[in-house]
């Protein structure tokens, strides 16, 4: 039994690493084309001014900010879940660790790009460092993102070191010379000695322990970017835990999707089993309950105290000509559907879990939209304007193009990273572990 | 008396009259605002050989003080760069808007747009139609930036591009602003506008940006009402005050306890006290520097505010006018 998972896992990945096939090139080409359209939209926006977006003086933040929150949520989720898996020694989670780390890093890069796109003068971006005012929640966020990115890159590298060393030592690897050099440098002279093993293990533990609180702090700070404002719908004490929770929620849902895709593409049925989907599905179920509870708590307090502007805002959520459908959709798919699909064993299968995860990710994106835009459309002084685009926000093609480009960049990172090293942490998978043995023995 | 003599006499009288008016005018503006010219103060040498200057107080008395104790007179030119972050010494600007007088003539908005070279899309001063509850009549509500003493916008600015000055004014340094727009969303009074495009109605004059004038506007940055400190430096009232045909807007200095709408000058504190002046959304704790006098004893029905509006402009006030 043991040999089943200890088979030469790296060997299975070597063909993927050695030479990209035509399919790979086609994927990269399509993704680059989408990113190209996004770049064109960005240049167009720079040239014409932000008048080409749907943003106006009342709704000053749009889909860009929604994407920013969304991707930052994914990144913190990756860091948080990865750290918990590592520290907690959940050996069944090992095949997911690398995916989690890549999700973290990639979205940590994509997220802030949306802020760059959103601000009026991107060329003054460095002012955030030169003239930083520590009193501003935005600067808290800048500090949090930069340190989180740093810690995550270090941690990701630590998790790669042993695989890089293996690839460096792999006989007859048919790859370009620069890549061999790359592996040699990135392996940092790791030779799998006892001392090195211990050192690396300790270093990983420390980084994982740092990453967990950093992720929680960073996402709370992002929540306070909104929560600190005096604005109905934003000024809410539940925002920080709510954001952290929905980040983990969307992160796990996304990991399920990525796991499923890789399982199909790389035939990883021996590493990623139905149990993985089930286990993560149970986590989704638990998070769905919490998410529903938090949402209910958020809305019921605002509804019951019925302050004027809050009532106007909530009325928009119930009005099907405004945000009614979005509100129903986001709450049904994020808070209720997982309980039905995963909670009832008859409905629970890999496919249903993956589809539910997709709906959850989308519903949580909508939830961020519902946090940002309706609140901006409901200021204390009711908007009085004859220009409809000044009253209601609707994203333009420029914003959608850049959104798609962001998603394409995210996918591209995965496609490229899977060529650099195996998408599953081979060394950890091959490592002897009682828990892992137990997992693969009993759950077949 | 010959005709010529009579003519001379009358012209002399005219001259005296105008001279007197001019004198009062200078006294008044000299009292209300720092005058630009440095000749207003006479320098005398006293026994102790300390330089003294004569100054006019707000109650019309001439006093002598040590020259060293006198505040320097601020320059006329709107300052640029870091210099604009210092307030005009000794001033605490306030505005009082008398809601009983506003008839939505829209002149404050257009005067401001002219003065700040704004596009028709941008209004630093906006007139809203408000209705507090079903039994009150709607009333017109001009709203600019409130220049809060506890400004939400200044708090959230990540680069310190928007700042609060000693003279009470909140300004935007569009040369530092990165355009993140978080100040716009933080302001509970929707006071800020963003420069969305470069298509200005008029070409911008080629001058260095000054936060006091908000000119030239820089695309991709935030602008807002600046309380026209550049006008104050020249001893003049802001554009919206002089633009208002009803005299609904008073502007002045809380330290001097004087406000003026261009026609009459009032005591600031007494006016607020007598007429139950209030600040909009006081409960938010932002401490605005703009006060409102409640719309009581109105001079005309609110419907008059609709008379000059086009059908399109009337749409703006649909939410109120439909219900009353």
CATH number where A63 lies: 1.20.1630.10
The closest CB to that of A381, out of B143, B176, B219, belongs to B143
With an 8 Å Cβ cutoff, are A229 and B189 in contact? Answer: no
* DSSP classification of residue B215: B
Cβ neighbors of A114 (< 8 A, separation 6 or more) are: A64, A65, A67, A68, A71, A402, A406
Sign of the CA dihedral running B7, B10, B13, B15: negative
Mutation test of the interface with chain B: which of A140, A312, A313, A386, choosing the one with the most B Cβ atoms within 10 A?
A386
Q: Which two tokens stand for residue A97?
A: 């660790």
How far apart, in Å, are the Cα atoms of A188 and each of A82, A165, A184, B208, B230?
23, 8, 7, 54, 63
SS3 call for A360: helix
How many structural domains are present in chain B? 2
Say if A382 is an interface residue toward chain B (CB within 8 Å).
yes
Residues B251 and B150 in one domain: yes
CA distance A401 to chain B (A): 19
Sign of the CA dihedral running B206, B211, B213, B219: positive
Residues B115 and B44 in one domain: no
* Lowest-pLDDT choice from A23-37, A82-96, B176-190: A82-96
CATH of the domain at B115: 3.30.70.20
Domain membership of residue B74 (yes or no) is no
Domain membership of residue A309 (yes or no) is yes
Domain membership of residue B108 (yes or no) is yes
Residues B50 and B112 in one domain: no
One DSSP character per residue, B235-279 reads T---HHHHH-TT--EEEEETTTTEEE-SS-EEEHHHHHHHTT-B-
The closest CB to that of A132, out of B158, B193, B220, belongs to B158
User: Which chain A residues are within 8 Å of B284, Cβ to Cβ?
Assistant: 230, 380
* DSSP classification of residue A336: I
Partners of residue B55 on adjacent β-strands: B63
Over the stretch B207-234, which tens digit does the pLDDT of each residue have? 788 899 888 888 899 999 999 999 998 8
Over the stretch B70-128, which tens digit does the pLDDT of each residue have? 665 555 678 888 888 988 888 999 999 999 999 999 999 999 999 988 888 889 999 99
Which one has a higher pLDDT value, A128 or B50? A128
Pairing of strands B139-143, B126-130: antiparallel
Domain membership of residue B321 (yes or no) is no
CA distance B46 to chain A (A): 49
Residues B65 and B89 in one domain: no
With an 8 Å Cβ cutoff, are B315 and A386 in contact? Answer: yes
Residues B197 and B291 in one domain: yes
Per-residue pLDDT, B16? 46
Per-residue pLDDT, B74? 52
Mean pLDDT over B278-283 rounds to 93
User: Which chain B residues are within 8 Å of A384, Cβ to Cβ?
Assistant: 126, 128-129, 316-317, 319-320
With an 8 Å Cβ cutoff, are A120 and B319 in contact? Answer: no
Domain membership of residue B97 (yes or no) is yes
**Given a cut of 70, is residue B39 above it in pLDDT?**
no
Domain membership of residue A440 (yes or no) is no
Residues B85 and B197 in one domain: yes
Domain membership of residue B291 (yes or no) is yes
Calpha distance A66→A61 (Å, rounded): 8
Say if A51 is an interface residue toward chain B (CB within 8 Å).
yes
Per-residue pLDDT, A286? 93
**Given a cut of 80, is residue A444 above it in pLDDT?**
no
Mean pLDDT over A71-77 rounds to 87
The closest CB to that of B184, out of A60, A132, A137, belongs to A60
Per-residue pLDDT, B71? 60
User: Which chain A residues are within 8 Å of B126, Cβ to Cβ?
Assistant: 384
Cβ neighbors of A442 (< 8 A, separation 6 or more) are: none
Domain membership of residue B197 (yes or no) is yes
Say if A120 is an interface residue toward chain B (CB within 8 Å).
yes
Per-residue pLDDT, B70? 65
Residues B95 and B17 in one domain: no
Average per-residue pLDDT for chain A: 87
User: Which chain B residues are within 8 Å of A385, Cβ to Cβ?
Assistant: 316
Q: Band of the pLDDT at A373, cuts 50, 70, 90? A: very high
> From A122, which residue of chain B is nearest by alpha-carbon distance?
B178
Smallest Cα–Cα separation from A427: which of A8, A86, A105? Answer: A8
Q: Which two tokens stand for residue A182?
A: 């790359």
User: Which chain B residues are within 8 Å of A130, Cβ to Cβ?
Assistant: 159
Q: How many residues does chain B have?
A: 324
Over the stretch A98-153, which tens digit does the pLDDT of each residue have? 888 888 888 988 999 999 999 999 999 999 999 999 999 999 999 999 998 899 88
Calpha distance B149→A270 (Å, rounded): 65
CA distance B199 to chain A (A): 9
Smallest Cα–Cα separation from B156: which of A150, A229, A377? Answer: A229
Domain membership of residue A99 (yes or no) is yes
Residues B264 and B222 in one domain: yes
Mutation test of the interface with chain B: which of A42, A136, A385, choosing the one with the most B Cβ atoms within 10 A?
A136
With an 8 Å Cβ cutoff, are B185 and A115 in contact? Answer: no
With an 8 Å Cβ cutoff, are A120 and B284 in contact? Answer: no
Rg of chain A on CA atoms, in Å: 23
**Given a cut of 50, is residue B41 above it in pLDDT?**
no
Domain membership of residue B324 (yes or no) is no
Residues B64 and B85 in one domain: no
Compute the CA torsion angle A382, A387, A388, A393 (nearest 10 deg).
-80
Calpha distance A182→B181 (Å, rounded): 42
* DSSP classification of residue B133: S
Over the stretch B174-195, which tens digit does the pLDDT of each residue have? 999 999 999 999 999 999 999 9
Domain membership of residue B123 (yes or no) is yes
> From A117, which residue of chain B is nearest by alpha-carbon distance?
B180
Residues B165 and B271 in one domain: yes
User: Which chain B residues are within 8 Å of A49, Cβ to Cβ?
Assistant: 195-199, 219-220
Partners of residue B53 on adjacent β-strands: B43, B65
**Which A residues, 261 through 300, put their C-beta within 8 Å of a C-beta on chain B?**
none
Calpha distance B20→A141 (Å, rounded): 62
Say if A21 is an interface residue toward chain B (CB within 8 Å).
no
Element (H, E) at A63: helix A63-88
Last residue of a domain, one of B13, B36, B69: B69
With an 8 Å Cβ cutoff, are B157 and A133 in contact? Answer: yes
Over the stretch A428-443, which tens digit does the pLDDT of each residue have? 776 655 455 555 554 4
Per-residue pLDDT, B223? 93
Domain that holds residue A28: 2-433
Residues B141 and B61 in one domain: no
Residues B109 and B181 in one domain: yes
Over the stretch A402-431, which tens digit does the pLDDT of each residue have? 999 999 999 998 888 888 888 777 777 766
Domain membership of residue A147 (yes or no) is yes
CA distance B180 to chain A (A): 4
Domain that holds residue B160: 81-315
Calpha distance A179→A412 (Å, rounded): 19
**Given a cut of 50, is residue B29 above it in pLDDT?**
no
With an 8 Å Cβ cutoff, are B181 and A61 in contact? Answer: yes
Mean pLDDT over B152-180 rounds to 93
**Given a cut of 50, is residue B32 above it in pLDDT?**
no
ipTM attached to this prediction: 0.84
Last residue of a domain, one of B69, B92, B112: B69
SS3 call for B35: coil
How many structural domains are present in chain A? 1
With an 8 Å Cβ cutoff, are B184 and A229 in contact? Answer: no
Smallest Cα–Cα separation from B317: which of B108, B128, B113, B37? Answer: B128
User: Which chain A residues are within 8 Å of B196, Cβ to Cβ?
Assistant: 49-51, 55-56
Per-residue pLDDT, A103? 87
Last residue of a domain, one of B69, B96, B120: B69
**Given a cut of 50, is residue A83 above it in pLDDT?**
yes
Q: Band of the pLDDT at A295, cuts 50, 70, 90? A: very high
Say if A316 is an interface residue toward chain B (CB within 8 Å).
no
């Amino acid at each position: 039994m043991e040999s089943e998972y200890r088979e030469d896992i790296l060997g299975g990945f070597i063909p993927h690493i050695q030479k990209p096939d035509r399919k790979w090139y086609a994927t990269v080409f399509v993704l680059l084309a989408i990113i190209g359209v996004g770049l064109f939209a960005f240049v167009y926006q720079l040239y014409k001014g932000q008048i080409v977006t749907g943003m106006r003086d009342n709704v000053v933040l749009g889909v860009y900010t929604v994407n920013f929150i969304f991707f930052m949520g994914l990144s913190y989720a990756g860091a948080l879940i990865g750290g918990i898996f590592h520290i907690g020694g959940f050996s069944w989670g090992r095949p997911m660790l690398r995916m989690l780390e890549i999700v973290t890093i990639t979205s940590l890069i994509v997220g802030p790009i949306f802020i760059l796109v959103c601000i009026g003068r991107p060329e003054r971006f460095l002012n955030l460092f030169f003239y930083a005012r520590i009193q501003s929640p935005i600067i808290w966020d800048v500090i949090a993102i930069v340190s989180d990115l740093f810690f995550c890159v270090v941690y990701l590298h630590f998790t790669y070191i042993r695989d890089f060393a293996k690839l460096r030592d792999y006989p007859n690897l048919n790859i370009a010379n620069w890549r061999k050099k790359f592996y040699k440098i990135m392996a940092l002279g790791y030779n799998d000695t006892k001392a090195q093993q211990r050192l690396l293990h300790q270093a990983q533990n420390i980084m994982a322990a740092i990453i967990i609180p950093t992720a929680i702090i960073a996402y709370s700070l992002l929540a306070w970017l909104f929560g600190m404002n005096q604005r109905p719908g934003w000024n809410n004490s539940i925002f920080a835990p709510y954001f952290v929770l929905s980040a983990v929620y969307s992160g796990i849902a996304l990991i399920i999707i990525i796991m499923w895709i890789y399982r199909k593409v790389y035939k990883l049925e021996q590493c990623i089993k139905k149990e993985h989907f089930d286990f993560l599905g149970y986590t989704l179920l638990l998070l769905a309950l919490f998410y529903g509870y938090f949402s209910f708590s958020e809305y019921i307090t605002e509804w019951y105290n019925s302050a004027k502007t809050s009532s106007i805002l909530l009325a928009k959520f119930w009005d099907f000509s405004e945000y009614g459908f979005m509100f129903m959709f986001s709450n049904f798919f994020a808070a209720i559907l997982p309980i039905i699909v995963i909670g009832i064993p008859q409905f629970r299968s890999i496919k249903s879990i993956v589809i539910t995860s997709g709906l959850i990710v989308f519903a949580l994106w909508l939830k961020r939209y519902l946090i940002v835009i309706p609140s901006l459309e409901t200021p204390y002084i009711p908007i009085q304007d004859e220009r409809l685009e000044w009253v209601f926000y609707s994203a333009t093609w420029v914003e959608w193009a850049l959104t798609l480009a962001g998603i394409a960049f995210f996918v591209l990172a995965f496609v490229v990273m899977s060529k650099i090293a195996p998408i599953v942490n081979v060394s950890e998978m091959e490592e002897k572990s009682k828990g892992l043995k137990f997992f693969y023995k009993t759950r077949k | 008396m010959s005709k010529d003599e009579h003519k001379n006499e009358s012209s002399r009288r005219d001259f005296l009259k105008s001279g007197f008016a001019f004198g009062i005018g200078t006294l008044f503006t000299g009292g209300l605002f720092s005058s630009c010219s440095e000749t207003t103060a006479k320098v005398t040498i006293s026994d102790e050989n300390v330089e003294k200057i004569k100054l006019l107080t707000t109650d019309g008395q001439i006093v002598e003080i040590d020259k060293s104790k006198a505040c320097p007179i601020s320059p006329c030119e709107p300052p640029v760069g870091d210099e604009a972050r210092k307030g005009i010494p000794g001033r605490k600007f306030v505005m009082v808007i008398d809601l009983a007088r506003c008839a939505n003539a829209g002149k404050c908005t257009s005067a401001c747009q002219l003065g700040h070279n704004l596009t028709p899309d941008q209004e630093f001063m906006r007139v809203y139609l408000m209705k507090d509850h079903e039994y009150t009549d709607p009333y017109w509500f001009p709203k600019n930036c409130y220049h809060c003493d506890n400004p939400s916008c200044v708090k959230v600015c990540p680069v310190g591009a928007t700042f609060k000055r000693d003279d009470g004014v909140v300004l935007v340094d569009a040369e530092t602003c990165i355009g993140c727009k978080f100040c716009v969303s933080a302001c509970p009074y929707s006071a800020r506008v963003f420069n969305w495009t470069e298509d200005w109605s008029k070409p911008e004059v080629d001058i260095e940006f000054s936060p006091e004038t908000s000119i030239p506007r820089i695309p991709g940055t935030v602008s807002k009402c600046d309380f026209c400190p550049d006008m104050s430096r020249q001893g003049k009232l802001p554009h919206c005050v002089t633009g208002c045909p009803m005299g609904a807007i008073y502007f002045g200095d809380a330290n001097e306890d004087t406000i003026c709408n261009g026609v009459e000058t009032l005591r600031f504190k007494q006016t607020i006290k007598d007429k139950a002046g209030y600040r909009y959304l006081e409960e938010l704790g932002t401490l605005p520097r703009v006060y409102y006098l409640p719309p009581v004893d109105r001079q005309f029905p609110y419907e008059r505010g609709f008379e000059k509006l086009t059908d399109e402009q009337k749409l703006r006030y649909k939410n109120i006018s439909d219900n009353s």
